[in-house]
Structure 1
């Protein structure tokens, strides 16, 4: 019995659509896999509401998604909204408008649930083993951290310190001034105190980055080494050497917007936010003394897929 379904991840920065078919053996055929820079948090995240322009962009994108969903005759649609919508004063109205205009029923998920779904997605990419890992998923609105291994979650928490929020707060000039980098790290030290305590308890061996920023870092790293295989097909699991990460990080800190855009592998929709996101990566590696980075191309939407087919609670 094959089942065709559409998964929508409405992130603060990016909206993802996956239209896929899964057969009874669990083999997947993807028909549509798209990500669009909707920037739902732009102009509103720090004010606690979805700004009118972002609201319209999102509705237009979801109408386009609906057309594709109908074209492929999908019977099951699961749409998830995360940090921006759950914290927006007009979030509920937004969800009602989406339903009215597209017939898509959106679930607003809390940070705990988001972290759990990310875990299932990352686990299905094959990057986890019996050692303890720290998964990090950097969104525009929130960042999820999960301490886990391939068998279970030991601890998880979502923090409202996403790249769009950090950008509004610390990105005062381009390139970012050194004192703003330090200010962001000082802020993270305070905000991530519960994570610091959990890391001391569970002692993760490595960092596992979930999609988004980490995919782009891997793309830049591969092209830098003259390897363009990732442009043809993105692997579910990758490794990023710490030294290679730091070469890219230094570049991101010292280049201007246009210079970053010229880096092979850089996506225009990430060109500024990746600076703030990379500072979080640096902070986590340094503070928790992690010596290895693995990357999962799978995250929330693949977690929903796992849950839909495996029937997790």
Structure 2
């Protein structure tokens, strides 16, 4: 039996297909990444615009064909921050769900954190997971009672780009305002962050590409790669002092992600600094894996 999960995020739209074996185990047969930027302008307008819906629709039509070609029998679709914030979420869901012919669940920040943890922890012993999305950031760990603890911050790479990066590079004063917002958001919560720290989503995977000098993304070279705080700090400083055009010429950056990477990198650097984390492990998995694993329980 083949099953699929689709993660409709603020920036990305991700498809994962797995095959359930006779013994109940799951093997991955297809993993696809696309950028729809569904959350474009949502922070200011509280609505998902028609161009964003069109981009997402085009991707989902392609995903439907892929699922059909793999003879997928069950699809689970979740949507996160952009859909949580948009006043027209019901309208958007009706359009997108009709393409895949499957209902879309708009999950809470807590649910998003849970799926990210399940999808990313692998065999690591009691890790902390940091998932930097386009609209929100989740920090997840397990306490001594084996209960998953999480916080969901309403800050993400797309949201921060629209708020603080209207000009490239931003002034040092603007960057300090952004860092201050991150610290203020974190100060409202209590969570015990401990090593190993696993970082998920497009920001850390792209930083891993840059740190290794890769021309393009290679999963085998990115998954499990260790990013030091010093490397992240150095890359962040470079990104946050670059002009808009120069961002697109940096090796390892997907052109569709170039504009939001400085904000995402600043977020990651600030989080690691706040919790005094010296290094982190990059994961290419995350929420879509957690959704797929959960669907066979």
The alignment's TM-score, normalised by the length of structure 1, stands at 0.87
Give the match's secondary structure for 2:63.
Answer: helix
Match status 1:85 vs 2:83: yes
Query: Could you tell me which residue of structure 2 aligns to residue 28 of structure 1?
Result: 27
- CA 1:28–1:235: 2 relative to 1, 3 Å: farther
Aligned ranges 1:27-106 → 2 under 5 Å? 27-30=26-29, 32-106=30-104
Match status 1:175 vs 2:169: yes
Could you report, residue by residue, the CA deviation over 1:108-150 in whole angstroms, capped at 9, with x for unpaired residues? 11110000000001112x3x314xx432111111111113379
- 2:208–2:222 contact (8 Å) kept in structure 1: no
- 2:76–2:292 contact (8 Å) kept in structure 1: no
Shift of 1:230: 6.4
- CA 1:269–1:153: 2 relative to 1, 3 Å: farther
Shift of 1:194: 3.0
Shift of 1:257: 2.4
- 1:146–1:153 contact (8 Å) kept in structure 2: no
Equivalent position to 2:133, from 126, 133, 139: 139
Aligned ranges 1:160-309 → 2 under 5 Å? 160-195=154-189, 197-198=190-191, 202=192, 204-223=194-213, 231=218, 233-234=220-221, 236-309=223-296
Separation of aligned partners in 2, 1:27 and 1:71: 19
Shift of 1:180: 1.1
Shift of 1:229: 10
Separation of aligned partners in 1, 2:119 and 2:150: 15
Aligned ranges 1:3-18 → 2 under 5 Å? 3-18=1-16
More helix by share: 1
RMSD: 2.2
Give the match's secondary structure for 1:237.
Answer: coil
Q: What is the total number of aligned residue pairs between the two structures?
A: 296
- 1:222–1:230 contact (8 Å) kept in structure 2: no
Give the match's secondary structure for 1:50.
Answer: coil
Separation of aligned partners in 2, 1:38 and 1:230: 18
Gap runs ≥5 in structure 2? none
- CA 1:239–1:108: 2 relative to 1, 3 Å: same
Query: Could you tell me which residue of structure 2 aligns to residue 108 of structure 1?
Result: 106
Moved more, 256-265 or 18-27: 18-27
Separation of aligned partners in 1, 2:223 and 2:114: 19
Gap runs ≥5 in structure 1? none
- CA 1:234–1:4: 2 relative to 1, 3 Å: farther
- 1:123–1:150 contact (8 Å) kept in structure 2: no
Give the match's secondary structure for 1:98.
Answer: helix
- 2:169–2:240 contact (8 Å) kept in structure 1: yes
Could you report, residue by residue, the CA deviation over 1:230-287 in whole angstroms, capped at 9, with x for unpaired residues? 6263554221122222221221112222222222111112212111111111211222
